[in-house]
C-alpha cells in the first residue's frame, strides 16, 4: 500500500537565510541523482520572493551543471539583474557542497491585457479518469523500475501522473516521439499563483526526455543508457491551478550527437494552452557494459 504522499507545500516552502539566500529540503525519488523538477520549482520560489508582488513569472531558462544529491538540502542564491517598468529579471544559482549544480534566469511581468491568440489544439486522448495512474502501473509492473524508485513511491504520488500508453518507455519497440500525460497535484493547493507555477515546473520534468528515446526503441531502464537533463525552459501563458487535471503533450523533433530535444505543451481541462516547455538532454548508449 502506498503511504500518504509527502506535501509539495512543504517542499516549496523555502527557509530564508538572508535577503537573497534560501534553503530548500530535498526529496529522494529513487533516481540516480536529485530530481531536476525539484530544483526547477524551488528556484522559481526563491526568485519570486525577491520580486514585487504585482509581477508574475512568464518564463525561465535553466541549465543543469552537476548531478544533485537527493540526501542534501539545496542553497539558492538569487541575483537581482533588473527591475524595469513592466519586467523584472532574476538569476538563481543552486548550490550543494559549495558547487554550482544549476543556473536559472527567470523573467517576471506585470499583468496586462493586450494582443492574444492560441494556435495550438489539445490532443484527443483517453480521459484522465479512464487512464491508469503511473503509481498503479508501477505497482502492477514492479520489475520495470529499480528498488530505489519502488521505495520512493510516496514521493511519486505527490503528483498524480496518468500516462497514455504507459508501457511505451519500458519497451524496445520503436514508436513516434510523442507522449501525453495527464497530471495534477494530489494535495490541496491554495490559489497562490507562484505555488501553482512552481508545482507545474516540478511536474514538467517527469517523462519529458524519455520521449526522445521512443523512435530508437531504447527503454528508459536500459542499463547501458545514460540520460540526464542539460537545459530546461518554460513559458507560462495563463494562470494554472494544479489541483485540476492538465494534459502534458510532448514531442521530440530531433536527436543526435548524444543529445535529444523535446518540446511540450500543457493544456488545462478547457483546452487552453497554459504553458509551453522545451528541454535538451544527454542520450548516450554505453557499449561494453
Residue 186, domain CATH: 2.40.160.210
Among residues 180, 229, 241, 277, which one is catalytic? 229
Tell me the per-residue pLDDT of 183-222, one tens digit each, with 9 for 90 and over: 999 999 999 999 999 999 999 999 999 999 999 999 999 9
Query: How many domains is the chain partitioned into structurally?
Result: 1
Q: Which three cell numbers stand for residue 278?
A: 522545451
Among residues 194, 241, 277, 279, which one is catalytic? 279
Rounded Cα distance, 117 and 289, in Å? 51
pLDDT at 32: 86
- Sign of the alpha-carbon torsion through 175, 180, 186, 190: positive
Q: Around Cβ 40, how many Cβ atoms within 10 Å?
A: 25
Q: Is residue 161 part of a domain?
A: yes
Q: Is residue 118 part of a domain?
A: no
**DSSP 8-state code for residue 128:** G
Our answer to whether residue 205 is catalytic in this structure is yes
Among residues 131, 205, 211, 241, which one is catalytic? 205
Q: Is residue 223 part of a domain?
A: yes
Our answer to whether residue 197 is catalytic in this structure is no
Our answer to whether residue 134 is catalytic in this structure is no
Residue 237 contacts residue 273 (beta carbons within 8 Å): yes
pLDDT at 173: 87
Q: Which three cell numbers stand for residue 230?
A: 542539460
pLDDT at 261: 98
Q: Which residues of the chain have pLDDT under 70?
A: 1-5, 288-289
For 16, list phi and psi in degrees, rounded to 5.
Answer: -85, 115
What is each CA distance from 222 to 19, 225, 226, 250, in whole angstroms?
Answer: 44, 5, 9, 21
Rounded Cα distance, 239 and 22, in Å? 25
pLDDT at 3: 56
Q: Is residue 117 part of a domain?
A: no
pLDDT at 122: 98
For 46, list phi and psi in degrees, rounded to 5.
Answer: -60, -45
Q: Pick from 107, 90, 105, 97: which is nearest to 34 by CA?
A: 97
Q: Is residue 81 part of a domain?
A: yes
Q: Is residue 116 part of a domain?
A: no
Residue 212 contacts residue 177 (beta carbons within 8 Å): yes
Domain assignment of residue 237, given as a range: 8-111+128-285
Rg of the chain (C-alpha set): 18
Amino acid at each position: 500500500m502506498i503511504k500518504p504522499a509527502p506535501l509539495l507545500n512543504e517542499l516549496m516552502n523555502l527557509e530564508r537565510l538572508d535577503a537573497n539566500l534560501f534553503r530548500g529540503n530535498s526529496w529522494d525519488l529513487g533516481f540516480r541523482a536529485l530530481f531536476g523538477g525539484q530544483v526547477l520549482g524551488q528556484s522559481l520560489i526563491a526568485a519570486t520572493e525577491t520580486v514585487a508582488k504585482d509581477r508574475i513569472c512568464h518564463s525561465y531558462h535553466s541549465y543543469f551543471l552537476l548531478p544533485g544529491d537527493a540526501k542534501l538540502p539545496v542553497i539558492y542564491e538569487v541575483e537581482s539583474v533588473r527591475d524595469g517598468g513592466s519586467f523584472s529579471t532574476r538569476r538563481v544559482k543552486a548550490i550543494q557542497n559549495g558547487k554550482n549544480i544549476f543556473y536559472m534566469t527567470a523573467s517576471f511581468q506585470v499583468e496586462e491585457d493586450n494582443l492574444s491568440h492560441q494556435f495550438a489544439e489539445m490532443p484527443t486522448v483517453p480521459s484522465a479518469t479512464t487512464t491508469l495512474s503511473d503509481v498503479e502501473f508501477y505497482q502492477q509492473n514492479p520489475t520495470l523500475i529499480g528498488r530505489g524508485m519502488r521505495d520512493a513511491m510516496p514521493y511519486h504520488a505527490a503528483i498524480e501522473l496518468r500516462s497514455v500508453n504507459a508501457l511505451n518507455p519500458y519497451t524496445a519497440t520503436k514508436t513516434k516521439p510523442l507522449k501525453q500525460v495527464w497530471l495534477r497535484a494530489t494535495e490541496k493547493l491554495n490559489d497562490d499563483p507562484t505555488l501553482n507555477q512552481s508545482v507545474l515546473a516540478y511536474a514538467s520534468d517527469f517523462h519529458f526526455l524519455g520521449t526522445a528515446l521512443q523512435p530508437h526503441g531504447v527503454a528508459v531502464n536500459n542499463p547501458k543508457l545514460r540520460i540526464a537533463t542539460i537545459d530546461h525552459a518554460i513559458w507560462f501563458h495563463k494562470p494554472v491551478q494544479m489541483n485540476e487535471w492538465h494534459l502534458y503533450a510532448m514531442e521530440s523533433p530531433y536527436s543526435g550527437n548524444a543529445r535529444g530535444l523535446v518540446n511540450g505543451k500543457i493544456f488545462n481541462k478547457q483546452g487552453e494552452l497554459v504553458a509551453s516547455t522545451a528541454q535538451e538532454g544527454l542520450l548516450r548508449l554505453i557499449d561494453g557494459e
